[in-house]
Chains A and B, each alone.
Chain A
Amino acid sequence: MAVYKWTAAEVARKVIDNEELFILDVRNHDAFEDWKIEGHKFEYLNIPYFELMDGVEEILPKLPTDKEVLVVCAKEGSSVMVAEMLSEAGREVAYLEGGMKSWSSYLEPIKVSDLENGGEIYQFVRLGKGCLSYMVISEGEAAIIDAVRFTDVFTNFAKEKGVEIKHVFDTHLHADHISGGRHIAAATGATYYLPPKDATEVVFDYTPLTDGLNIKIGASQIDVNAFYSPGHTIGSTSFIIDNQFLLTGDILFIDSIGRPDLAGLAEDWVDDLRETLYSRYRELAEDLVVLPAHFMIIDELNEDGTVARRLGDLFKENHGLNIEDEGEFRRTVTDHLPPQPNAYQQIRQVNMGKITPDNDEQTEMEIGPNRCAVR
């Protein structure tokens, strides 16, 4: 039987199109429990490859014959070995090219909406890591918000759309993934903005992203308004785009809220987080559509693969926006927090420009889920 090779892009399509898939994950149990390819209709079997070296006969009855089977491992090698063994046993299976490493890196651009006068807003969904980046396009120009480190994806997309990248923003100093922001700016001549309160230790030049900053994009003058919304970090800043969309960074997600501890200052920032979520955001129009910088679980994806929800709906449904008691809120966001993102301290150092790891080291640092939220 043939062994097929699937790319991360093909798997992403199955997630977004809500298709069925059976994943045989041959990483060890801890790695699988920690982080896997999530799909609405995916089924899983986790057997470490080293338990299959004597043969795959024992697992054959557990593999469906009426569904596509994808073998997945960390980097690819073990999944090829297992896929070939299954093929010799008469099964038709595929393996994931580049393994979880390539899954972690894959970005799918999805159009969120048209904007006034021919503008567009795109969400770049990094399914494997739960990171969301944005590009706002208006005749001839583009702005990018919270770009991940795969800068080519953004610059090529801009080229395809025939737009010049003029402004690149980071809503805050990221701790879970490496920012591509200042590299895109350097390559395109765009202006790179970072909130000054998050940038006290950075070793590169940037333009301060301050409360009330207003930028207009392209011929149709799409409005990009910044407003200060601290809590996840002291500098965290949100954006309102075209009076329709609220980009919340890591402050507010669909099914959770930001955690205040990744720079080690949970107790100091909990009041800011409360103030942002329970006062500043409450003053905004409920019809704004929230576009966060992350998702944590696959259920947060809409049917078209985007991650977006009306602010008014989140006020009703998001648990983190409905904790009346301040003491209870404090406990929720400071006690019993989930583990921190992999290598988060190193990642912050990279984003400050203090260390410059090579591509493999960056991939290694970013392995695993983003873990920026409290539910």
Chain B
Amino acid sequence: MNITKTLDAKGLACPMPIVKTKKAIDAIKSGEVLEVVVTDKGALNDIPAWAKSGGHTVLEQKTEEDVLYFYIQKA
């Protein structure tokens, strides 16, 4: 997987992780992959739901020691 850009949203509370994810996605091209690193647990459900509503694809997500990683391919 080629990561185009990484967004560090650790320590940010809802809604900021999604607000920043949206901005970051807006700034990359279709088909490119954004890595989002976040600690707010709300993101676990919200990032996939947000991605789905915008037609983006979550290629992979993982949790490592309370830090969540998402890999989102822009539609």
Interface mask (B31-72 → A, CB under 8 Å = 1, otherwise 0): 000000000011001100110010000000000000000000
> Once bound together, how far apart are the Cα atoms of A78 and B14, in whole Å?
6
> Once bound together, how far apart are the Cα atoms of A365 and B18, in whole Å?
23
For B22, give the chain A residue with the smallest CB separation: A53
Q: Is B28 an interface residue (CB 8 A)?
A: no
Closest CB of chain B to A339's CB: distance in Å?
16
Contact B15 A30 (CB under 8 A): no
For A26, give the chain B residue with the smallest CB separation: B15
Contact B15 A78 (CB under 8 A): yes
Closest CB of chain A to B30's CB: distance in Å?
18
Q: Is B16 an interface residue (CB 8 A)?
A: yes
> Once bound together, how far apart are the Cα atoms of A74 and B13, in whole Å?
11
Contact A28 B49 (CB under 8 A): yes
For A54, give the chain B residue with the smallest CB separation: B22
Q: Select B14's contact among A29, A51, A53, A74, beta carbons within 8 Å.
A: A74
A364: B residues at CB distance < 8 A: 41
B22: A residues at CB distance < 8 A: 50, 53
Q: A50-B22, A51-B53 are in contact. Are A75 and B14 (CB under 8 A)?
A: yes
Can you pick out 18 interface pairs between chain A and chain B where the beta carbons lie within 8 Å of each other?
A28-B45, A28-B49, A30-B45, A31-B45, A48-B49, A49-B18, A50-B18, A50-B22, A50-B49, A50-B50, A51-B50, A73-B15, A74-B42, A75-B42, A77-B14, A78-B14, A78-B15, A364-B41
Closest CB of chain B to A17's CB: distance in Å?
31
Q: Is A81 an interface residue (CB 8 A)?
A: yes
> Interface size (A, Cβ < 8 Å)?
16
Q: Select B15's contact among A29, A31, A81, beta carbons within 8 Å.
A: A81
Contact A50 B53 (CB under 8 A): yes
Contact A29 B49 (CB under 8 A): yes
Which DSSP category, helix, strand, loop or mixed, fits chain B's interface? helix
> Interface size (B, Cβ < 8 Å)?
14
A30: B residues at CB distance < 8 A: 45, 49
> Once bound together, how far apart are the Cα atoms of A30 and B44, in whole Å?
12
> Once bound together, how far apart are the Cα atoms of A77 and B17, in whole Å?
11
Q: A28-B49, A29-B49, A30-B49 are in contact. Are A50 and B42 (CB under 8 A)?
A: no
Closest CB of chain A to B70's CB: distance in Å?
13
Interface mask (A75-117 → B, CB under 8 Å = 1, otherwise 0): 1011001000000000000000000000000000000000000
Closest CB of chain A to B51's CB: distance in Å?
9
B1: A residues at CB distance < 8 A: none
A77: B residues at CB distance < 8 A: 13-16
Contact B46 A50 (CB under 8 A): yes
Q: Is B19 an interface residue (CB 8 A)?
A: yes
Q: A28-B45, A49-B18 are in contact. Are A75 and B50 (CB under 8 A)?
A: no
For window 224-241 of chain A, which residues contact chain B by CB distance below 8 Å? none
> Once bound together, how far apart are the Cα atoms of A28 and B53, in whole Å?
11
For B46, give the chain A residue with the smallest CB separation: A28
Interface mask (A53-68 → B, CB under 8 Å = 1, otherwise 0): 1000000000000000
**Closest 8 CB pairs between A and B?**
A50-B50, A78-B15, A28-B49, A77-B14, A50-B18, A77-B13, A81-B15, A77-B15
Interface mask (B1-20 → A, CB under 8 Å = 1, otherwise 0): 00000000000011110110
B15: A residues at CB distance < 8 A: 49-50, 53, 73, 77-78, 81
Contact A73 B49 (CB under 8 A): no
> Once bound together, how far apart are the Cα atoms of A49 and B50, in whole Å?
9
Q: A53-B19, A53-B22, A364-B41 are in contact. Are A48 and B46 (CB under 8 A)?
A: yes
For A73, give the chain B residue with the smallest CB separation: B14
For B14, B18, B42, which residue has the most chain A Cβ atoms within 10 angstroms? B14
A73: B residues at CB distance < 8 A: 14-15
